Structure 1
Amino acid sequence: MMMKLASIALLTLAGATLTPQAEAQTDSNDSMFARDKNVSVLQRPRPDYDAGGVQNGALLIYPELTLGLEFTDNVFGTSSNEESDTIAVITPAVSFNTTWSRHAVSGDASVTRREHFDFSDESVWNFTAGAGGQLDITREANLVAGARYSSLTEPRTSAGAAGQAAEPIEYDTWASYIGGERASGRLRALGRVDYSTFDYDDAPLFGGGIVDQDFRDRDELVLTGRGDYAMSPDTALFARLRYNDRAYDLSPPDVPLLRDSDGYTFDVGADFDIRGVARGVIGVGYTEQDYESPALPDIDGLSVEGLVEWFPTQLTTVSFNASRSVQDSAVAGSGGFFGTSVGVNVDHELRRNVIISAGVSLSEDDYSGIDRTDERLNVTAGVTYFVNRTAGIRASFSYQDQDSSGAAGNQDFSKNVIGLSLVLRR
């Protein structure tokens, strides 16, 4: 199944570009790497309905408040004794960006309260805030940097112990990055450093006891280097190398296994933007993750990463995505797993202020070191109605189904969620 999904991923992305290509047109920006020829349905400006923001000098500030209700028929993501609930969702948020002609700074912050009507122990707070900037050294060279902090809770459908805990598992993350790029004619070089930390809180178990999550606390370092060669103003080929180091806070004898690892992914691909047809990035290569503990087997194989947007008409955007990568496991006894996913999403502008969306995705997590494979199906649908520049309404539906097999498999479940929200903004 894993290789089948990987094959589907490649065929899906390849098929997205097998359309009659319009004659390439050079954008007004003469850079060989400008990727602004197409605008998706969700990105398209709507002057009569877009929020104007609050001008404060060189800053444009966008405050927003979302008020929503959700209904789910399986709160805990269980295969039996399913419980339904209604959840009130309140999210105040703010974002900003500069209006300078050169350089840029942007940021955002939001707080979300999810209040369960029947199961109050499931009520949670989530918070995230981040900022980043770009320093334009020359027209074709820049430096970027940014940071983000998040205090979140794991969904009940996660692969770890969330399903057995009496309360949702909380965790904090810090993420920062610095990078730069330089283009010259048909050549471009990019480099980036990402550093992240993960800190998970323990949680009480149903029936008493504590589920210890300290074994998941870790630091991650990712170094990325990439070189591009522009075949034309529409298309560039690239080669990319990413190295990662994952260092866990705990080691034996505090935990049974040393989960530290390092690895790399090398891939080649294409970055394209063909006016009126499609745009996207596709990379295919090889990945390997080596674990320090001899009890945890190394993982290696095909890597895939891609997102392609197809524009059959100006009113419709079809997005294809696929990925295959090694991810850390939240299950004790397994160092990591190969996560493979493919998906397609359609956004259609029914009217200037009405957008309908639908999507479907398939994913598979194949665990290393234990006998477990999780297969998931996700289906989504939604309608967004822009009332005016300061208000909008969204109705949504999602369906998730999981089939977990193997001696260490998790439980199977299905879950439906219906939502309705009102968005107020300036």
Structure 2
Amino acid sequence: MKSNKKFILLILAVFFITIIIQYAHAADSPSITQETVPSGSETVPSGSETVPSGSETVPSGSETVPGGSVPGGQETVPGGSVPGGSVPGGSTGDAVITSDILGEKGGIFHPFIILEEVYTDNLFATNSNKKSSLITTIAPGVWLVFPGTKVKQLQIDTTITAPGGLHLSRIKPEGGSRRYQSYFLYSPEFIFNSGYSKHDHINHKAEALFQYNLNFGLSFDLIGVLNDREEVSGDGLSDTLYRHQDNLIDFITTYDPPSNKFKLQLALSNYGLDYKDTVVSNRDRTDKSYGISAFYKFWTKVDLFTEYNYSDIKFDSGTINDSIENRYYAGANWEITEKTNGLIKLGYIQKDFNSPSVTDQDGISFELRLQHEFNPKRSLQATGFRKFHESDMAAASSFLSTGIDVTLGQKFTEKWSASLGIFYKRNEYNGFDRNDDIFGFGPAIKFEPREWMFFDLGYFYYQSNSNYSFYDFDINQIYLRATLYM
């Protein structure tokens, strides 16, 4: 994989300079007394691409396909990770440094294993000559956390077509009273395709997080995500899987002064994508992104903010698609009641290509996240988005993606729960007259007979309709998953 030593050195320099300032400044500073929020829980609206801590469920309509992926790598499932970024254990634990630091309460060592059987009627997501298969997945893994806790500290996955690697922007969660938090996860995923053994493969996922909170309102959040996995070709015809590696380094530093009225946030990230197969090596690229946000607490439960993001997108060989994105947003982050919270960002994107032969793009962009609890047993989650993505086909430079995703959750008893998710999105390609309308839904039921074990049984339907018929396809899947964890 490509490396970016200057970027990593910049992050380290900022971190260590701030540590020096901290020791020079904080000799007489009071201890941290911020509101207790479990570090890294990243619940809506504070996090991105996450599920609420302890929910242990995956939004069924979140474009995930159990046991596989669909074209473009946008809807992959890292089966080797805790499913969908869920939180084994579900308990938030204490947010103060006590004997828990040695794992006495939450533990620092959390092994798990996921066993999954999936029946699919369209293994390679093709328009015709569909291939059905039974997919077996065995995904052992372990995550380590220090100080110890049962809360999985990172629930995030990369999207290979998204500039910077993230489908939705990542916002650092509020700092808790813990001085620091560290976390690491590794999981291989062994996948066996009945009838198509030549496509059996092993995926790998590793992720890490380090957070540090200083006394005078300055905090740091550094994450790393590495994936080595396979996806279907996506050309509507080929029974082919393409292997790629992608990695993300994302750094956020926040200054939240004691007044609690204003907050300033700086973000830097580096994302790299590298394909093993030369036929798609034109997709290899490196994205460098920078962002700055200013927040103002308008009401006790409402933050208003403005945000600017810059991304420099460079391809290794397909340099004609090199571009620069400028994104401008204004929005609100609210927690109106204990039952309702959310985030809305509305703005404008300019995508300027380096080559004069490629048409520049601009347009309205937005992100929406909403979480509402109707009652203790019923909840609703919704996300909406509109943004540019890097193209997954050689004839186009990019595509504009607009969509919405809604999930309804219902808890019947302490052991039984269910969810129903539905999503829709439209992809409009630049440089090639192709438009795709994508729709999917999935009901699922969950049974948790023990605190250390649960089962998921569900159905998933995915349909893509394009103005070019050979890009049309649909997928029906039934899956049964068992998860055991400590």
TM-score bracket relative to the smaller structure: 0.7 to 0.9
Q: Which amino acid in the other structure matches residue 330 of structure 2?
A: V
Q: Is the counterpart of residue 152 in structure 1 residue 229 in structure 2? A: yes
Residue number in structure 2 paired with 1:50: 89
Deviations 1:212-260 (A, max 9, x none): 1111111001101101110122110110111000011115xxxxx6111
Looking at structure 2, the residues matched to 288 and 354 of structure 1 have their Cα atoms a distance apart, in angstroms, of 47
Higher strand content, 1 or 2: 1
> Which residue is equivalent to 1:241?
308
What is the CA distance between 1:353 and its match in structure 2?
A: 2.1
- Residue from 219, 230, 237 that aligns with 2:286: 219
**Number of the residue aligned with 2:108:** 60
User: Do the aligned partners of residues 147 and 347 (structure 1) sit closer, same or farther apart at CA in structure 2, a change above 3 Å counting?
Assistant: same
Q: Which residue of 2 aligns with 1:289?
A: 351
Q: C-alpha separation between the residues in 2 aligned to 1:282 and 1:225?
A: 17
The alpha-carbon deviation at position 167 of structure 1 amounts to 3.1
Q: Relative to structure 1, is the Cα distance of residues 320 and 99 closer, same or farther in structure 2, using a 3 angstrom cutoff?
A: same
1:361 aligns with 2:428: no
**Residue 29 (structure 1) shift:** 5.5
**163-172 or 34-43, which deviates more:** 34-43
Are 1:415 and 2:475 matched, yes or no? yes
2:293 & 2:239 partners in 1: Cα distance? 45
Query: By percentage of residues, which structure has more helix?
Result: 2
Corresponding residue of 1:175 = 248
Deviations 1:301-343 (A, max 9, x none): 0101121101111212201100110110021121111011111
**Aligned partner of 2:185: which letter?**
D
State whether residues 101 and 146 of structure 2, in contact with CA within 8 Å, keep that contact through their aligned partners in structure 1: no
**What is the aligned partner in structure 2 of residue 22 from structure 1?**
none
Per the alignment, residue 447 of structure 2 pairs with 385
Structure 1 gaps of 5+ residues are: 1-27, 203-210, 252-256
CA RMSD, aligned part only?
A: 2.8
Aligned to 1:213, what secondary structure does the other structure show?
helix
Equivalent position SS for 2:300: coil
Letter in 2 for 1:124: H
Aligned twin of 1:306:
368
Equivalent residue, structure 1, for 2:334: 272
SS at match of 1:394: strand
What is aligned with 2:275? 200
CA contact (8 A) 2:184 2:207 kept: yes
1:122 aligns with 2:199: yes
1:166-209 per-position Cα deviation (integer Å, ceiling 9, x unaligned): 4310000121122200112210011110101100121xxxxxxx
The secondary structure found in structure 2 opposite 1:81 is coil
Partner of 1:321: 383
4+ long deviations beyond 6 Å:
34-41
1:80 positional shift: 2.2
State the aligned residue count: 376
Q: 2:264 aligns with which of 158, 179, 189?
A: 189
2:54 and 2:110 map into 1 onto residues whose CA distance is 18
- Partner of residue 113, structure 1: 190
Deviations 1:356-381 (A, max 9, x none): 11100001110001100011001011
How big is the shift at 1:148?
2.0
Tell me if the contact between 2:45 and 2:334 (Cα under 8 Å) persists in the aligned partners: no
Describe the shift of the 1:31–1:349 C-alpha distance in structure 2 as closer, same or farther (beyond 3 A). Answer: closer
Q: Partners of 2:365 and 2:232 in 1: how far apart?
A: 27
Tell me the TM-score normalized by structure 2.
0.72
Note closer, same or farther for the CA distance 1:37–1:118 as it changes in structure 2 (3 Å cut): closer
Q: C-alpha deviations, 1:21-42, integer Å up to 9, x for none?
A: xxxxxxx95699x998999996
1:410 CA displacement = 4.5
Contact 1:303 1:323 survives alignment (8 Å): yes
Which position in structure 1 is the counterpart of 2:219?
Answer: 142
Note the alpha carbon deviations across 1:135-186, whole angstroms, 9 max, x for none.
Answer: 1112632012122221011145x4xx4x444431000012112220011221
SS at match of 2:214: strand
- Match in the other structure for 2:169: none
- Corresponding residue number in structure 2 for 1:77: 125
Matched residue, 1:11: none
TM-score by length of 1: 0.82
